[in-house]
Amino acid sequence: MADEASLILLVDDDFDFLEMNRHVLESKGYRVLCASDPDEALAKMGSDTPAVVITDLMMKTLDSGFLFSRRLKEDRRFKDIPVIIVTAVGSRCGFDFRPRTQEELQAMCADAYFAKPVTPEKLLEKVEELLMRRGREGAT
């Protein structure tokens, strides 16, 4: 069950992805902010810090999502925010960025990775898991 105060930031240049997942997350009680690129996302984060960020990899450039997640993890204000990467880069470009180990996932500056399309159930399950983990870590 979602904490009413939990804010999720969706970052993707695909309007349909933003709208579909905004609806899915809001239906579970989350507040949702949407941004079409990393610069817009960072501007929005200046006034309202999300509990989880879900970002695409390929937006303005092939590595937009990688650079964005790295910026978050290197910024002391945002370093503890879980980042979920959801991308279709494998099917669109043939590149295989799937992390095979926890170390590879950490090198991506991400806490989770999904290939598009990801089912709403899997995405919600991961959001809830990351929120619970963050809550436990914050309590210690």
Residue 136 has pLDDT above 90, yes or no: no
Q: Is residue 28 part of a domain?
A: yes
22 close to 34: Cβ distance less than 8 angstroms: yes
pLDDT category at 131 given cuts 50, 70, 90 is very high
Tell me whether residue 139 is in a domain. Answer: no
Determine, yes or no, domain membership for 2.
no
| 70 in a structural domain | yes
Q: Write down the pTM of the prediction.
A: 0.88
User: What whole-number distance in Å separates Cα of residue 3 and Cα of residue 119?
Assistant: 21
Residue 35 located in a structural domain: yes
The per-residue pLDDT for range 4-31, each reduced to its tens digit, is: 569 999 999 999 999 999 999 999 999 9
Instruction: Return the axis-axis angle of helices 15-27 and 120-139, rounded to nearest 10°.
Output: 60
Does residue 39 lie in a domain region?
yes
- Buried/exposed code over 35-72 (b: 16+ C-beta within 10 A; e: otherwise): bbbbeebbebbeeeebbbbbbbbbbeeeebbbebbbeb
Average pLDDT over residues 98-116: 88
Q: List, in sequence order, every residue forming a beta bridge with 87; answer none if it has no partner.
A: 115
Q: Is residue 1 assigned to a domain?
A: no
pLDDT at 2: 47
Q: How far is CA 106 from the centre of its chain?
A: 14
Q: How confident is the model at residue 3 (pLDDT cuts 50, 70, 90)?
A: very low
Task: Please report the pLDDT score of residue 93 as a whole number.
Answer: 55
Q: Express each pLDDT in 50-103 by its tens digit.
A: 999 999 988 887 788 889 999 999 999 999 999 999 988 765 555 667 778 889
Domain ranges, residue 17: 7-134
What sign has the CA pseudo-torsion 130, 124, 58, 88? positive
- The tally of domains found in the chain comes to 1
Q: How many residues does the chain have?
A: 140
The torsion region of residue 112 among left (phi > 0), alpha (psi -120 to 50) and beta comes to beta
Residue 97 lies in a domain: yes
Q: Report whether pLDDT(1) > 50.
A: no
132: pLDDT confidence band, cut at 50, 70 and 90? Answer: very high
Side chain identity, residue 136? R
CATH code for position 86: 3.40.50.2300
* pLDDT top residue among 125 and 58: 125
